[in-house]
Amino acid sequence: MPHVIKMKRVTKTYRMGDMSVQALRGIDLEVERGEFLAIMGPSGSGKSTLMNLLGCLDKPTSGEYFLDDVNVSGLSKNEYAGIRNEKIGFVFQTYNLLPRTSALENVELPLFYDRTGRIKNPKQAAVEALARVGLGDRLHHEPSQLSGGEQQRVAIARALVNQPAIVLADEPTGNLDTRVSIDVMSVFQELNQEGITVVLVTHEPDIAVYTNRIVKIRDGIIRQSTAVLKPGNAKKDLEAYRDPVEDELEKAGQ
Amino acid sequence: MMLLKNLLKAAVRSILRNRLRSLLTALGIIIGVSAVIIMVAIGQGSEAQIEQQISALGTNVIIVFPGASRMHGVSRGAGTKNRLTVNNVKELKKECTLISAISPVVRAGAQVIGGGNNWNTSIEGVSTDYFTIRNWTCKYGRLFSDKDIRANKKVALLGNTVAQELFPGENPTGERIRIRNVPFTVIGVLQVKGQNAFGRDQDDVILAPYTTVLHRLKGGRYINMMIASSVSMDQIDAAQQQMTAVLREAHRLAPGEPDDFRIRNQAEITQAASQTSRVMTLLLGAVAGVSLIVGGIGIMNIMLVSVTERTREIGIRLSVGARSSDVLIQFLAEAVVLSLIGGTIGILLSFSVAFLMNQFTDLYTLINPGIVVLAVLFSGAVGVFFGYFPARKAANLNPIDALRYE
Ligand SMILES: Nc1ncnc2c1ncn2[C@@H]1O[C@H](COP(=O)(O)OP(=O)(O)OP(=O)(O)O)[C@@H](O)[C@H]1O
Ligand SMILES: [Mg+2]
């Protein structure tokens, strides 16, 4: 099976007392190995809910979910933790780094809980992951000493360090300005070109153009799936990028 | 195992990362542990000290004072004169089968001159039994003998303080001293005894044969008190009754007439003293208990306050693949390490405070190993309990709920 992800009729209902919200109403989704997928949709449409299920951070109410050929639907809590540790790298909108902890230690964190012994030298793996996201010179910086973009790079490095089958990112550029967003996208693009499957959520079409396929979701159902015919090149765009405010200032100065 | 090592490493890192919080948590334990240890050490120290001082009084001691006995705070026989004599002592010694030794004590305060110095001290005229009763031995020289007493010998035994004042750094045996201008020969120096139960320096004394003191220094027939030993601790009350009967007869007191002397035994004194010190230990224990609780509440507060931040941290750990049990082990290790550190510092602190108190204050402290263990176990349990339960709640959350926790 070439599919890294295969979801069949997955639903998710949140219960709060006697109220219940059906956030997902039957998702069928397949993601091939090496794909770079963007999930888009209006606020409250269920994107984060879907990502959390994909990332095994939460369990679906019904339906089947195959991740890397493993049916994870019926797994125990500890097995879920194992799947998260082995097969998934998750990037959050709010970075979710441990405060007062160096970039290196943050990236090392998933390897702390590695029960497979796949990665022989955790520290070296963490250094390499940080180098891959261009932070080879920021190993000992703590989150408070890093810019938002840099913190998100640390989070991406942490998502990479366990050599996951898939990297999931829920609005990874949601807290970043345009230039830094493109910068972060260039990191994802590079990783994808190296063969890593990436699924990300974004609101911004400008960001989605750097992926290969866009899935649109509304009211908990996938409405549309379109291939991006000519994906942008984030690295090039970044070089050509001109800050509108700077432009204005420059014009005013002349 | 690699994973366990990692969890411990995570625990230590987390302690170092949250220095202030760790410090405050440990502080709660430090205060709790050291307060309990010190308080109980003071209580038990003073108890032990009083016991020791009372036993330093001598063995199975019965003391007879002149004057009316007091009962219910009312003096019965006001104006009773001192009628204790040396003859009474001799009679008691002959008649009372339950006492093993008895000595008169004739006291005279005097200026003593010797070795070019002078010193004001108390001269006590006693018999040889006195040495047995009060466990006096010699540091230098010899004790005086019954022969010295019969011969009214002008010999003196110096208490250590007196010896130091008159002949600093010397062995004064054989030296001459003058007590109220009467020349005496120093035949020895008494072993150091230190303070008694009432804070008096027991070494600031000169012992001499009671005959000599009575005839040369004091004059008259009456003695200041008698001190006796019963044959055993069990017989001390019976011995006291025997002595009372003999003395009443000697003083020709009619039945119903009040005693013209007071008689006390060591058991009574011990009981009274240890009663007060037990009350004090109890009081101190209560204070310590309160500080332990306050320390515990401090720990609890800090643990609960940090739950928000920790829940996010737990969410992060869970999201990268930690199991609930991994998180719990880490937090447990953290609480245990903090409690151990706090407990150790608490012990060290209390030991040094106890040491300093013994060195520089009048308070004597005695550290009770059982209390040390108890205090550490209790505060450790508090630390672990309050570190563990908030963490357990958080560790059982969905990773996503833990991350979202506010
Ligand atoms: N933990 C929860 N408990 C109850 N309802 C929830 C919970 N999480 C999400 N929901 C509801 O589920 C629906 C989908 O939420 P979700 O967060 O997946 O939306 P989203 O597409 O990510 O939105 P946004 O673009 O604003 O992030 C919403 O109606 C939301 O209120
Ligand atoms: Mg969302």
> Residue B257 has what DSSP assignment?
S
**Residue B78, pLDDT score:** 43
C-alpha–C-alpha distance, residues A187 and A200, integer Å = 13
With 50 as the cut, is the pLDDT of residue B79 above it?
no
pLDDT, mean over chain A? 92
Mean pLDDT for chain B overall: 85
Instruction: Say which of B6, B316, B323 has its CB closest to residue A98.
Output: B316
Tell me the average pLDDT across B118-143. Answer: 92
- Strand locations in B61-154 (E): 61-66, 70-71, 74-75, 99-114, 117-126, 138-141
The yes-or-no verdict on residue A108 having pLDDT over 50 is yes
| CA–CA distances in Å: residue B104 to residues A223, B128, B198, B212, B228 | 116, 10, 21, 13, 9
Query: Do the Cβ atoms of B321 and A85 come within 8 Å?
Result: yes
B6 touches chain A (CB under 8 A): yes
pLDDT of residue B361: 82
Question: Is the per-residue pLDDT at B65 higher than 70?
Answer: yes
The ligand minimizing its distance to the Cα of A41 is 1
Alpha carbon of B90 to those of A104, A169, B306, B336, B358: distances in Å? 93, 106, 80, 70, 44
In the predicted structure, residue B302 carries a pLDDT above the cut 90: no
Q: How many CB pairs under 8 A join A and B?
A: 78
Top pLDDT among B370 and A38 is at A38
Higher pLDDT, B309 or A222: A222
Q: Which two tokens stand for residue A71?
A: 């049916």
Using an 8 Å CB-CB cutoff, list residues of chain A that contact chain B: 52, 55, 57-58, 77-78, 81-86, 88, 90, 92, 96-101, 105, 109-110, 112-115, 117, 158, 162
The residue with greater pLDDT, B84 or A246, is B84
Q: Residue B331 has which token pair?
A: 């937090």
Question: Rounded to a whole number, what is the distance in Å from the CA of B279 to chain A's nearest CA?
Answer: 51
Q: Is B316–A97 a contact, with Cβ atoms under 8 angstroms apart?
A: yes
| A22-31, B18-27, B376-385: the lowest-pLDDT one | B376-385
Output the pTM of the full model.
0.70
Q: Between residues B331 and B153, which one has the greater pLDDT?
A: B153
Condensed to tens digits (0 to 9), the pLDDT of residues B181-221 reads 899 999 999 998 877 666 678 899 999 999 999 998 888 88
Among B35-44, B141-150, B303-312, B371-380, the minimum mean pLDDT is found in B303-312
Q: How far is the CA of B335 from the centre of ligand 1 (A)?
A: 36
* Residue B169, burial from CB neighbour count under 10 angstroms (0-12, 13-18, 19+): exposed
Give the pLDDT of residue B190. Answer: 93
Residue of B21, B320, B404 to mutate for A, most A C-beta atoms under 10 A: B320
The ipTM value here is: 0.93
Ligand 1 lining (C-beta closer than 6 Å)? A 14, 16, 21, 23, 41, 43-49
Res. B320: pLDDT tops 50: yes
What's the confidence (pLDDT) of residue A125?
Answer: 95
Distance from CA of B13 to the nearest CA of A (A): 9
The nearest alpha carbon in chain A to B13 belongs to A101
Q: For the segment A208-248, what is each residue's pLDDT rounded down to a tens digit?
A: 999 999 999 999 999 999 999 889 898 888 888 887 777 77
- At residue B110 the predicted structure's pLDDT band, cuts being 50, 70 and 90, is confident
Q: What is the pLDDT of residues B238-272, one digit of tens each?
A: 999 999 999 999 998 888 888 888 888 887 777 77
Q: Does position B72 have pLDDT exceeding 60, yes or no?
A: no
* Atom number in ligand 1 closest to CA B401: 1
A1–chain B nearest CA distance, Å: 25
B153: pLDDT confidence band, cut at 50, 70 and 90? very high
For the stretch A196-208, pLDDT in tens is 999 999 999 999 9
Residues around ligand 2, an ion, CB closer than 5 A: A 48
- Chain B residue with minimum CA distance to A120: B2
Is B2 near chain A, with CB under 8 Å? yes
Q: Which residue's CA is minimally distant from atom 6 of ligand 1?
A: A14
pLDDT at A39 over 90: yes
Domains and CATH numbers, chain A: 3-251 (3.40.50.300)
Give per-residue burial for A124-159: e unless 16+ CB within 10 Å, then b: ebbbebbebbbbeebbebbbeebebbbbbbbbbbbb
Q: Which amino acid is at B273?
A: A
Q: Which of A26, A61, A34 is nearest to A217 (CA)?
A: A26
B277-284, long-range: CB within 8 Å, 24+ apart, which pairs?
B277/B43, B277/B46, B277/B47, B277/B50, B278/B47, B280/B43, B280/B46, B280/B47, B281/B40, B281/B43, B281/B44, B281/B46, B281/B47, B282/B43, B283/B43, B284/B39, B284/B40, B284/B42, B284/B43
